Amino acid sequence: MLIKINKTKSVIYFFGTVKRDLLDIAIFSIAVTIFAQIKYFQNLMIPLGLVATVGTAMSLILAFRTAQAYDRWWEARIIWGAIVNDSRTFIRQLQLFLPADQKDEVKQFVERQSIWCKALSESLRKLPFSDEVKKYMVEHQIEASNVPNALLDLHSKQLKSLVDRGLLSEFREVQIDTTISRFCDSMGRCERIKSTVFPENYSKLIHAIIYFFALMLPFSLDDNFVYIKGALTVLIPSFFIVIEQTAILMQNPFENKPMDTPMTAISTTISMNLMQMIGEKVEVAPTVEQDFYYIL
């Protein structure tokens, strides 16, 4: 199962996100360039070395900013990769440890695990639960503020029931419960990323430094090439703005945007894999996720 990104719509979305900031910095840069040509300011020269120092500092700050945002994005992808692996391991353990005639019990775990993945993705994005998740909640009378956690509780209760009925040894129960604990850990890590807001003041500081750089730049360039000076005054700060906005898009991987973790697509893949593991035939049409991700 291959997850791909719809590049065309993602690029359009990205430019739609940054166009306001690019327009603002372009207007500001052009205005500063025009002021730099006024007679009273023509003799004002800022050493290019000083401007280069500010630009270097700006680059380092942006590099740190982008690295921090990428770490959050990559951690989210690692977590969901672990959920995929643990889901397969979970069902494989149940198939191995339970008697061959307990296929219905295994199927219940498969259905619940599929619902757990979808419920977790929807709760992280703060979206209304899908009809499939709502139906399962009604059938099993789940009323909880944290539905994914309640589903894990049902996993544990069914596991205990199997032990009480003598279908599963306590040693094997511990092994399976360890896998369920990893689901809980993954859920907690996702919730930590979701609830930890990137400092807003840090973004404002970067924005202020970019504008300060744009203010200084025209006064350090040669006045004999006015158009080139104007173009550079617009383009260089614009590059900084684009890098900053890219970091902002990556820093929140659970917001249902082009750079997010494709949780809906991954959940669908998990569901199909688990159903196939228990011998169920599954035919699922290619899934489109908010026009940004789709499955092949």
- Asked whether residue 208 is domain-assigned, the answer is yes
- Asked whether residue 148 is domain-assigned, the answer is yes
How far is the CA of 4 from the CAs of 24, 32, 223, 294, in angstroms? Answer: 33, 43, 49, 6
- Other Cβ atoms within 10 Å of 116 Cβ, number: 26
- Asked whether residue 64 is domain-assigned, the answer is yes
Range 64-86 average pLDDT:
93
Q: Which of 9-23, 68-82, 106-120 has the lowest mean pLDDT?
A: 9-23
In 3D, which of 9, 3, 17 has the Cα closest to residue 291?
Answer: 9
How many DSSP H helices and E strands does the chain contain?
9, 3
Instruction: Say how many domains are in the chain.
Output: 1
Q: Are 165 and 133 in contact (CB under 8 A)?
A: no
Lookup: tokens for 86: 């643990």
User: Which range, 85-94, 203-212, 250-259, has the best average confidence (pLDDT)?
Assistant: 85-94
- Asked whether residue 11 is domain-assigned, the answer is no
pLDDT in tens, 175-217: 999 999 999 999 999 999 999 887 777 888 888 889 999 888 8
pLDDT value at residue 15:
76
Q: Are 181 and 188 in contact (CB under 8 A)?
A: no
- Asked whether residue 66 is domain-assigned, the answer is yes
Residue 295 confidence class, pLDDT cut points 50, 70, 90: very low
pLDDT value at residue 6:
55
Q: Which residues pair with 109 in a beta bridge?
A: none
pLDDT in tens, 215-253: 888 888 776 677 787 888 888 899 899 888 888 888 889
- Asked whether residue 76 is domain-assigned, the answer is yes
- Asked whether residue 254 is domain-assigned, the answer is yes
- Asked whether residue 149 is domain-assigned, the answer is yes
Domain hosting residue 97, numbered range: 18-38+49-280
* pTM assigned to the model: 0.83
